[in-house]
Amino acid sequence: MPFIENRSINKKDYLSTKVIYFLPLILLVPTQAELAPWWPFPSSGPIIFMFIASIVLLILYIFEIVRDSKIIKLTMAQKIFLFWIIHTFISYALVVSGFRSSLESIGARLYTGIPPYFLAFMVFLVIEKNKWRIKEFEKVTKVLLFVSLVWSIESFFTFYLNYPIPGLTSILKGSYWFSSGITGSLHTVSKASLLIFWLSLYMYHMHKKPFYLLFSLGASLTILSVINRASIALLMASLALFVYVVYLRYPEGRTKNQNSLTVGRLFKGLLGLFATFVVIAGGYFINNNKGSLLEDSHAFIERAYQYARATEIIIQYPYGAGAGLGFNLCYSQEAPQIYTAELRNTEPFATFSQFYQSGMLGANMQQKFVGEDNVFSIHNFSLNVVMDYGVFGLAIIIAYIIWLFKFLKFVKLLYHSRYHTLVKTFMCLTLAQGSVFVAMQATYKFFGWMWLLVFMFLFAKQVIKGSIREQKEQIQLNNGDFIPLSEAHILGKI
């Protein structure tokens, strides 16, 4: 069922909305700008652009609220944002004033944790204020597809055809992995491509245009070329869940003639073959690039030790250390080791700390000035949020996970309402953020792009809100009688 264009528009054409349309382009900014010869600003990476975008959005947001509102009454989201500002100010004031003197030596890097949170808040506030509909979300999606196309072309030439692109170092030295000479980060490319894979399938199911499948194919090939095992595993798992829910658990053709061959069924068959290809290819790459058993065991033990130290920080700073400060405090003498010092001397941590001097197991976690010895991040998105904001961050993470399960539950409601196109599109939106969120539990290096999770959350939430709103309006128009709306009507209104 093709998508019917939404004819209802916002009362005002907000400039803040237009700024968000271009945020995906920051994904192409080199993570390590000094290592990208093509980039003309060697000291300006994505963090700086995130901060500039956040400031611009904040100025526009305040201006638009003052201009359009006679009486300003703070919403819950605005109150939380003000709390974040106060929390951040106090956290950094403690460092600057000398109460956390061990962190003063970090220098400008002290503030790199602010822009990711700042931008995530501004994306949420602007989208909520401007009352986005599906058409606005899809405009951002199209820019994300453009970003994915750039990576797909780059990986196709450099990884699959082994043809180097002049000026770009797209293959890591000493390995055969694709790392993007444009973005310069395998984690950014792999996680964002995982998200874009599902957004491509969303656009295909919503608009019934087969060329969107080419974007999903390109995104999956990019993920496989990066060979980031977390992204590949989540691609395989989420794709298997999609096939189960959409084509086995809640199939559209259950009540239809199963013997007729239609264009729609042909595409379903192609999608099934595509899914099979991804699972087989993903399994092949994982199996042939999994490293030695000793190296994998070391990584597992290292992560376990990191998480143990993170819990010590959470215990000692239950209200949070501040934006981006949590993992730095893991190496500070201001955060005593409650049990990790003894843990390092027990097996299997003792053996690995002797043979592998890299990583946290080989670092001094009681430094007078953080940075005197090596400092490593905690490879877990949720733990970093909880370290930074304590019980407040934990509450947000738990609430988000609950919402993900609510999204999955809503799929069942859509199916029983015979909204089969919405079942597919909504599953794509849910799996997009769910798979990336789970993949982020194995890394910190995609932390800066948490605004994408906010964007996807509001995208899925808009489908729910729009569907319920149209049903309520229909009941009011029919004097309390419930008359199910056609799927075409809902798709055109949300």
Structure token digits, residue 228: 């980031």
Summarize pLDDT for 252-292 with one digit per residue, the tens: 755 444 444 455 555 555 555 555 555 555 555 544 554 44
Nearest alpha-carbon partner for 22 in 119, 127, 128, 144:
144
Q: Maximum CA pair distance of the chain?
A: 76
Cβ atoms of 233 and 286 closer than 8 Å: yes
- What's the rounded Cα separation, in Å, for the pair 81 and 244? 39
Give this prediction's pTM: 0.86
| pLDDT < 70 regions, the chain | 1-11, 172-175, 253-298, 352, 354-358, 470-494
Strand partners, 178: 171
Determine the 3-state secondary structure of 233 from DSSP: helix
Token output for 286: 């994982």
Q: How far apart are CA 467 and CA 422, in angstroms?
A: 10
- Tell me which H or E stretch contains 456: helix 450-477
Tell me if 390 sits within 8 A of 317, measured CB to CB.
Answer: yes
For residues 352 and 290, give the distance between their C-alpha atoms in angstroms, rounded to a whole number.
Answer: 19
Task: Give the bridge partners for 171, in sequence order.
Answer: 178
d(CA 400, CA 458): 11
Q: Are 344 and 369 in contact (CB under 8 A)?
A: no
Tokens for 181? 């000479």
The CA distances from residue 45 to 22, 28, 40, 146, 328, in Å, are 16, 10, 11, 20, 21
Domain ranges of the chain: 15-73+112-251+267-289+382-493, 293-381
Phi, psi of 178 (to 5 degrees): -85, 130
Q: Output the six-digit token pair for 29.
A: 């900014």
The tokens describing 292, both together, are 């030695």
Give bridge partners of residue 367 from the DSSP assignment: 332
Query: In sequence order, which ranges of 132-171 are alpha helices (DSSP H)?
Result: 134-155
What b/e readout covers 239-253, taking b as 16+ CB neighbours within 10 angstroms?
A: bebbbebbbeebbbe
**Helix 134-155 / helix 450-477 crossing angle, nearest 10 deg:** 150
Hey, what are 462's tokens? Answer: 């808009």
State CA 309 to chain mean position distance: 25
Alpha-helix residue ranges (DSSP H) falling in 317-419: 326-329, 340-344, 349-355, 381-416
DSSP per residue, 247-265:
IIIS-GGGGS-TT---HHH
Of 11, 118, 126, the closest CA to residue 60 belongs to 126
Integer Cα distance of 217 and 190 in angstroms? 14
Residue 186 to residue 94: CA distance in whole angstroms: 35
The radius of gyration of the chain's CA atoms, rounded to the nearest angstrom, is: 24
Q: How far is CA 326 from the centre of its chain?
A: 20
pLDDT at 412: 84
479: left (phi over 0), alpha (psi -120 to 50) or beta: left
Contact 349, 343 (CB under 8 A): yes
The kind and range of the H/E element at 314 are helix 293-316
- Please give the pLDDT value at position 43: 80
**Contact (Cβ atoms closer than 8 angstroms) between residue 337 and residue 370:** no
| Amino acid of residue 419 | Y
Specify the 3-state DSSP secondary structure of 367: strand
Q: How many residues does the chain have?
A: 494
